[in-house]
Amino acid sequence: MPNDALDAEKLQILARWAAGLRADQRDELAAAGRAIELLIEEIERLHVLLWGRQLYPEPTRTLEAVWSQAPEDGDGEVEGPGAEPDAEVAATDDVGATLRRRLLRRFHSESPSHS
């Protein structure tokens, strides 16, 4: 199966084409050459980012870490001075907190590291 990826040799060929187009007297071709050069620079920047992520992968976030960062209460906003929080919002918050606790218990019981 042939490898159609943009390797270093193909990028060098593109860079030569871009330089040839940039040297052309016609504005449209010179602009096309510059556009190709910008794309090559972006490809090289993305290669650096990709290699960095392969060498230093981000730690995997666990369900517990995600849910432990979720707020336990509502956003604390009230509609006016001395206003009471809406009962429906409070009930939703209670449901959310309950759901988080249940999911965390379930996660702990099914996780091989917690057995």
How far is residue 93's CA from residue 26's CA, in Å, rounded to a whole number? Answer: 65
Element spanning 10, H or E: helix 8-23
In a domain, 87, yes or no: yes
In a domain, 42, yes or no: yes
Residue 90 in this model has a pLDDT that exceeds 50: yes
Q: 37-69 pLDDT, tens per residue?
A: 999 999 999 988 888 877 777 777 676 676 666
Tell me what the mean pLDDT of segment 64-88 comes to. Answer: 54
Which range marks the domain in which residue 30 is found? 8-55
In a domain, 1, yes or no: no
Which of these three, 16, 35, 55, is where a domain ends?
A: 55
Is 88 found in the same domain as 110? yes
Contact between 29 and 19 under an 8 Å Cβ cutoff? The reply is no
Q: Which residue from 74, 66, 71, 75 is spatially nearest to 103, judged by alpha carbons?
A: 66
Task: Give the predicted TM-score (pTM) of the model.
Answer: 0.46
Three-state secondary structure call for residue 12? helix
Is 41 found in the same domain as 71? no
